[in-house]
Amino acid sequence: MKNSIPLKPVKKIGVCAPSARFDIEKLNTGLHTLQDLGFEVQVPDEIFEKKRYLAGDDILRANIINNFFSDADIDAIICARGGFGAMRTLKYLNWNVIKQNPKPFIGFSDITALLLSIIDRTGNLVIHGPNVVSIAGAGQETIESFYNSITGVFKKISVANGKVIKPGKCAGILKGGNIAVISHLLGTMFQPDFENAVLFLEDIGEPAYKIDRMLTQMKMAGMFEKILGVVTGSFEKCSNDEYIEEILFEMFEEYHIPVLSGLDSGHGKINLSLCMGAGVKMDTAAMEICWN
């Protein structure tokens, strides 16, 4: 099953750095990977700026994104890396320009703040997928999924090695990302809206009790009241990860929705690209997700 983003073909990709400073050697390796896939890349000098642990000050990092969205020669935008700092750019983004110039915006982890805000503020589709430094050492599955996604082709994704936590089927808008980032958006003007969402969740380096605490906070804030399903990605380097499936069952038991874990997306060895803001169907019996 396929779905296409109604955008022009991607030839030229702009590289932004809305979060932390990055390893230049890994960046260059990732850029070569993008070029080997047939894409031209544009790397502004400003992404090499430094402010403490950030890739330059907030306005500079935001304006690189604004400029790429307004530039008709740029077909897609990819983030150099995640880490921390993307939330600080949100108030400086030109949401009208972004809405009027839809194009694939790609990243994950800390970039969750941007992905969800773009969906909610503009209705544009985004891609939860590898950034430049992570695609540098990525395997074939990750790279092929990235290429298919950025060129607008979304096949169904098998979760064959996953675990059915709560069985069932659902159809909704795929939204979500990194749990820690989502929890830090609570109570802000950029708190995500998960009504009618198939919620995707992943994280790295968080012990099970912190994942429990963050999900409990979201639940108490009412964020799960109108979701239609949950699918989780990798929980990389999360201590006591054997508790996570039990935590997920307890969190979502009362909502009578399907919950599926084990999608190869996030900080794990495989990071499959997910088009978010688009409609998907999830079936725990078939162990798959497909785009409408």
Q: Identify the band that residue 200 occupies on the pLDDT scale cut at 50, 70 and 90.
A: very high
Phi then psi for residue 136, to 5 deg, are -60, -40
Q: How high does pLDDT run on average in the chain? A: 95
**pTM score, whole prediction:** 0.95
Query: In this predicted structure, what is the pLDDT of residue 3?
Result: 41
**What pLDDT score does 8 carry?**
64
pLDDT score recorded for residue 2: 38
The domain 12-150 having CATH identifier 3.30.70.2860: the answer here is no
Q: Where in the chain is the domain with CATH 3.40.50.10740?
A: 12-150
Phi, psi at 97, each rounded to 5°: -65, -45
pLDDT on residue 292: 85
pLDDT for residue 5 = 46
The whole-angstrom separation of Cα 67 and Cα 17 is 13
The predicted pLDDT at position 151 comes to 87
> Pick from 166, 239, 172: which is nearest to 200 by CA?
172
d(CA 131, CA 250): 33
Q: Has residue 291 got a pLDDT over 90?
A: yes
Res 64 pLDDT > 70: yes
Question: For residues 207 and 53, what is the distance between their CA atoms, to the nearest angstrom?
Answer: 24
| Cβ atoms of 93 and 65 closer than 8 Å | yes
Q: Which CATH superfamily includes the segment(s) 157-291?
A: LD-carboxypeptidase A C-terminal domain-like (3.50.30.60)
Dig out the tokens for 152 from the structure: 């607008």
Across the range 206-224, mean pLDDT stands at 97
In whole angstroms, give the CA distance from residue 246 to residue 180.
19
Helix (H, G, I), strand (E, B) or coil at 142: helix
Show the tokens assigned to 108: 């994950």
The fraction of the chain above a pLDDT of 90, given in percent, is 93
Residue 157 scores a pLDDT above 50: yes
Q: Tens digit of pLDDT for each residue in 234-260?
A: 999 999 989 999 999 999 999 999 999
pLDDT of amino acid 9: 77
**Which band of pLDDT confidence, cut at 50, 70 and 90, is reported for residue 160?**
confident
